[in-house]
Amino acid sequence: MNKKDFPIFKNNPNLVYLDSGATSQKPQSVIDRLKKYYEYENANVHRGIYELSENATQEYEKTRNIVKEFINANSEKEIIFTGGTTDSINFVAYSWLLRNVTKGDTVLSTQMEHHSNLVPWQQICKMRTDVNFDLIKVRDNFKLDLSDIQNKIKKFKPILFSFTHVSNVLGTINPVKKIIEIVKKHSPDTRILLDSAQGIPHLPVDVQDLGVDFVAFSGHKVYGPTGIGVLWAKEEILVKEMIPFRYGGGMIRVVNSDDSIWAEIPEKYEAGTPNIADAIGLGEALKYVSEVGYKKIIKHENEIKEYAYARLKEIPELTLFGPDILKNRQGVFSFDLEGVHSHDIAQILADEGVAVRAGHHCCQVLMKSVLDVQATTRASIGIYNDEDDIDKLIRALKKVIGIFK
């Protein structure tokens, strides 16, 4: 579906791209939008009185509105542009957690997190004395242990619970609303961050409906440019519970030699010249996703996911990680082939034109504590993949088995 919208496939006719979990390919409309911006519209924002600058400001702010509508935020003031998910999470870690955490507090995350949703919390906790950092267990069925969540939420009443929407290794789609219900029931003051880096490219996110406090995602995984991402936070939190951790131009109202007064949100949290072009490109990507529509995306990706699952299961030497109940799983397939290291698999696949990922996928805790493997090979799908791509993957895997037999 939609392969023709993505020029990379025209320019690399033999490419079988199964690494959308790492980054998605870009539709022509996004590429054209970036080009148009630089060719016709480039100027700094919030500064010039001249038309180009006014226009760039307008386009940049329009994108904020596109994001607001896309995730159903209450106001565009709640949309902070960042460099990506990692940047958004570090922002919460420094501007919110570091300011609010005190002795005896607990910060909760899970064993299935990407390093970017684990290391920032771990390190902030280490900066303070007597702050506990704990991880929710992943069960044998590759899902979060809901009773562990209940117990730890009850026991610790954590200041923050940060977890992923979809696991980038297992494909597990976490039952976000159910988890939030458990948290709210036992500890209504716990703030909740949802890492939707792997969620929003495939599933709609309605921040008000979910009832979360923070959402982070990256532009480049949702068919947009690299270097741009979003932090959404409730207005009340942005105003009352956070302070900037980056200072400089664009985020101030008044600067005196001894102290300064900050601008209003969201500018307050966007110090320096923002990534204007890529923000506008992200807006175009979200438009693209809206135009195709999540309904069609989900239907198509489900078909490919079911096909891929069935074909992978046919290979006896292959151990597949992740939930077997497909409705709980995104089109992400991490696997192990008996006796073959993931690097060797990925290399042979690469020579067949099949792009997959090998390694720990920035999830060392999951690898060590849950899967007990050093590395896996991962195939992950996007809207442009079709059954033919899966057939080529399977053919290449059979070649690997043949070589190492």
Ligand X SMILES: Cc1ncc(COP(=O)(O)O)c(C=O)c1O
Residues in the site for ligand X, rule: CB under 6 A? 84-86, 114, 116-117, 164, 168, 195, 197-198, 218, 362
Active-site residue 363, yes or no? no
Q: Which does 164 bind (CB under 5 to 8 A by kind): other proteins, ligand X, none?
A: ligand X
CB of 340 to other proteins, least distance (A): 8
Comparison of 119 and 228: residue with beta carbon closer to other proteins: 119
In SS3 terms, the chain reads as: CCHHHCHHHHHCCCCEECECCCCCCCCHHHHHHHHHHHHHHCCCCCCCCCHHHHHHHHHHHHHHHHHHHHHCCCCHHHEEEECCHHHHHHHHHHHHHHHHCCCCCEEEEECCCCHHHCHHHHHHHHHCCCCEEEEECECCCCCECHHHHHHHHHHHCCCEEEEECECCCCCEECCHHHHHHHHHHHCCCCEEEEECCCCCCCCCCCHHHHCCCEEEEECCCCCCCCCCEEEEECHHHHHHCCCCCCCCCCCEEEECCCCEEECCCCHHHCCCCCCHHHHHHHHHHHHHHHHHCHHHHHHHHHHHHHHHHHHHHCCCCEEEECCCCHHHECCEEEEEECCECHHHHHHHHHHCCEECEEECCCCHHHHHHHHCCCCEEEEECCCCCCHHHHHHHHHHHHHHHHHHC
CB of 131 to other proteins, least distance (A): 27
Q: Which does 359 bind (CB under 5 to 8 A by kind): ligand X, other proteins, none?
A: other proteins
Comparison of 84 and 382: residue with beta carbon closer to ligand X: 84
Q: Which does 351 bind (CB under 5 to 8 A by kind): other proteins, ligand X, none?
A: other proteins
CB of 190 to ligand X, least distance (A): 20
Token pair in block for residue 94: 């420094």
CB of 344 to other proteins, least distance (A): 5
CB of 374 to other proteins, least distance (A): 4
Q: Which does 360 bind (CB under 5 to 8 A by kind): ligand X, other proteins, none?
A: other proteins
Comparison of 239 and 350: residue with beta carbon closer to other proteins: 350
Residues that bind other proteins (CB under 8 A): 340-344, 347-348, 350-351, 358-360, 374-375, 403-404
Q: Which does 117 bind (CB under 5 to 8 A by kind): other proteins, ligand X, none?
A: ligand X
Q: Are 323 and 370 in contact (CB under 8 A)?
A: no
CB of 385 to ligand X, least distance (A): 18
Integer Cα distance of 228 and 356 in angstroms = 24
Comparison of 194 and 340: residue with beta carbon closer to other proteins: 340
CB of 257 to ligand X, least distance (A): 37
Q: Which does 374 bind (CB under 5 to 8 A by kind): other proteins, ligand X, none?
A: other proteins
Q: Which does 197 bind (CB under 5 to 8 A by kind): ligand X, other proteins, none?
A: ligand X
List beta partners, residue 108.
134, 161
Alpha carbon of 39 to those of 36, 52, 53, 57, 277: distances in Å?
A: 5, 12, 14, 16, 11
Token pair in block for residue 306: 């079911």
CB of 376 to other proteins, least distance (A): 11
Comparison of 197 and 277: residue with beta carbon closer to ligand X: 197
Integer Cα distance of 96 and 73 in angstroms = 19
Cα of 53 vs its chain's centroid, Å: 31
Given the residues 179, 362, 367, 383, select the one marked as catalytic.
Answer: 362
Comparison of 106 and 116: residue with beta carbon closer to other proteins: 116
- Residues with active-site annotation: 362
